Structure 1
Amino acid sequence: MSQGRDIFFVSNSVDEIGGVTTWSHQMARLLTDRGHRVHLVGICPVEENIRQSFSAELPYATTTLYDERPPSPRTLRGIKGKLNAPERRRQAARRAGMLEQAEKLSALFREAAPGAVVICTQVWAMEWVALADTKGLTVIGMSHESYEASHKSSRAARVRRHYKDVDRLLVLTPEDADLWIRSGMDNVGSMPNPLPFMPDAPAPREAKVVASVGRLAFEKGVDLLLDAWSETAPLHPDWTLRIYGAGPEEASLRAYCTSLGLDDSVEWMGSTGDVLGALRGASVFAQASRAEGFPITLLEAMAAGVAPVAFDCAPGVREIVSHGEDGLLSRLGNTVELAGHLSRLMSDKELRDRMGDTAFRDVKRYSSAEITDRWEELFSFLQR
């Protein structure tokens, strides 16, 4: 094995609940295991209610630049904006604070050995990386959402602005990379997420349970899943929908569940630290997201050998699931179609076992070893 590199992951935070944070810590651990010196850097801390807990003794360093979240930028428009002295002072103080924190990044980067890599996992964090001294380092920017999702927000414009000069912009699928390239970005490649686990055998699939795992937030579409379940549940009175997760929509989703008359067939399980255990207690997996990047929960379900039913909401979903072979995909928002796919798997044990076994085999292409190999190959390629 070649001598390890200094690798910096720079994110909005090091401990916010969410997929990017979980991914960052997973990759940090995988690369540390390969002999690299990894440092996770967060721009600012997060509130207690959205903070993930991690072991106090991580095998890699973590740093948070700010003690509290910095003020948000505002655009000074026209003569009135230019004459707004308090706002101009606030903006100047924000800029000075950014430069001060960027100097902390520069100090970390200057201590790195030749061949060091900076991986900016979120475009907001890139505003600080861009102010830091990265001379002699390879800088990789990332977007953990689909091209379409980026363009439904202000993030697409920021990706173009802040990532245009990085050594590589990585998105989650070749399809998304092609869209960015066609739109004028010439430094784009793709890198999928790795599997968090790879069990030795698929789940037993004996329980009459459909599992859903994810944050209870609008984009995850749990309301749409409940709509589909209201069509499916009367046909399968001996089946249960278990919803694992917590989030801002929980109270309204529970109320909606009650209004649909589903309380007898839906179990709210809360967050779980044992996703594999949750999936091994199910026979079908359901995902009704409105938007996704490269959904880790789909990978997890397939790694557990549980056939997924999902909305085809992003290239990442199509990349992971081969419709009709290792899962079933529905058109985005079509809850009748989603209900039909759920019912088909719930009615046919042979079909769900066959698809679950195929999923278990197919998903091995995203094993942590395979994806870590790809990262190391990219580091070597970009260093040339």
Structure 2
Amino acid sequence: MPRTFYANMQIQPLIDGRSELTHAAEPPQEVIISTRVRLARNLQGHAFPGWAKAAQRRAVLSECEETIAGLAQMQKGAVLEIENLSDLEKQVLVERHLISRELSAHGAGSGVVVSPDQSTSIMINEEDHLRIQVLRSGYHFNDIWNAIDAIDSSLESSLNYAFSENLGYLTACPTNVGTGLRASVMMHLPGLVLANQMEKVVRAVNQLGMVVRGLFGEGSDASGSLFQISNQQTLGESEQDIIRRLGIVIETIKEQEINARLRLIENEPEKLADKIGRAYGILQHGHVLSSSEAMNFLSLIRLAVDCGLLPVEQRAQVDRLFLECQPGHIQFAAKENIDSDGRDTARARMLRKETGDMPSLNFDKLAFS
């Protein structure tokens, strides 16, 4: 049974430590929040996790844990087995993008190894035997590809991957066969949302063989105007070609977002200022905030930074609060069981404290008529 108590939680060191998403080495960028590359891999001669018996899953977990923990990049990291985690711990790991919602629903024989800086996580026995993920704040496809390729090569030297000369890497789902690569970029697109242009963007992206999802991937909503754009095709192209094509799409969306913001500033500066001002006031003085409300208000504060209404240093604070206002993080910080209403109150209290010293909005940056 998953643990439900709060003492001695295994993920406490992750929460206390500096992570890529909360304390990135470089200042956050406009529009692009983070970049991620994920590889799906399986072991030759072992049943896929969805068909494997418990003993088979545990055997794969044991073999992979030892190999992964021995990698230079993963030493002194966290080695976690899903069946030993509480539901809350699993929720926090999902919110930190260290495991998928699918892995959090698994039990015996599944696990994850997380690097000390939380930029790399390797899930074991999710849909595939291995899901290798490298995530960085900002836009860094080349660096991420080099990092994940090195990890993949090291693992392949010790583990016998399931590979076909004709098809490439074999995966549980046919849509991942070939490179097994999913590359994605988390983008902040409030201009397109406020201009009611996102539906058009989603259609155009789909026609180019890419997909648009919400904050936590497939089936999640886009609170805070945060969207994941990723490739769909994994077969018939090299990893570099997939990343190159996705990069072209990302640059086009970024240009459209910037243009949408400029049109808002030019055509509706008072309405934009009103939305930002209300968000600023509620974050500093609100007493009950749902996670969706908080995300949307923080999105407007990030937009205010990008428009020059607040110092650029506030962007990193907003990106950290995007994460820390999630339900699991609020519950974890409370150190006790609180219901939904209690979380909404605790969230508002935390955001009042975090934004209380925020500088005043400089509305002179918007050209009012």
TM norm structure 1:
0.24
Q: Which has the larger radius of gyration?
A: 1
TM norm structure 2:
0.24
Greater relative contact order structure (CA < 8 Å, 6+ sep): 2
